[in-house]
Amino acid sequence: MKITAAAAAFSLASLAAANPVEISERQSCPKVYVFGARETTVAQSNGFGTGANLVRSVVSAYSGTGSEAIVYPACGGQSQCGGISYDNSATQGTAAVVKAVTAYNAKCPTTQIVLIGYSQGGQIMDNALCGGAGGTLTGAALAAVKAAIFLGDPHNRAGLPYNVGTCTAQGFAARPAGFTCAAAADKIQSYCDAADPYCCTGNDANAHQQYVNKYGTQALNFIKSKITA
């Protein structure tokens, strides 16, 4: 069957007109996109919290990379964040991670996603990847997450294969004995030191704020090792 040039042009134009918004979005999808989550009591306006410099390092490492802060209470019962309980806040945060990552993957299915969470922000990323109240990533959205960094995660438990740091105990919201994260263990590094009173059993609150300063380069190199060309 002979197809004229005019007919071919019309066919291509029809395809483009079918969903121009979707085509435009796909064309603008970056190679890498970062979701970050802040720690307890930090305002949403500082959405990456103490993890911000690591988020910036990833954005700088890959041209065109985008980033987005997870919107959630980040509360532990304090008045400045509405008195929402820690467990309620973490559940809301986990649901927000699952919703945001799933929606972004649907829009940009070839983009490689990085998760970075600090303290409670690390816990909600942990939940989204490994299971917990609020939901869990599955299918294409889970596969799109190539690397995850938990910084001072209260879910920490000694002995997990992705742990980094000096902690040999556990956090105040530790995973149960024998826990495994079969779906995503190879994508994770979780940083916790012994002096930290939140992800471990130390008594130096300042230690909880030092993970990007101390391990930022190591975390960035891990992320780079998981991003494909």
Residue 217: other Cβ atoms inside 10 A: 11
Residue 119 catalytic? yes
Establish whether 155 is a catalytic residue: no
- 126, 153, 193, 196: which is the annotated catalytic residue? 196
**Termini Cα distance of the chain:** 41
Q: Which of 119, 153, 190, 193 is catalytic?
A: 119
Catalytic residue among 89, 155, 193, 208: 208
Q: Quick one: tokens of 62?
A: 């890959």
**Whole-angstrom distance, CA of residue 122 vs CA of residue 99:** 16
Please list, in sequence order, all residues whose beta carbon lies within 8 angstroms of the beta carbon of residue 109, skipping any fewer than 6 positions away: 140, 144
Residue 208 annotated to the active site? yes
Round to whole Å and give the CA distance between 166 and 32: 30
Query: Which residues are known to be catalytic?
Result: 119, 196, 208
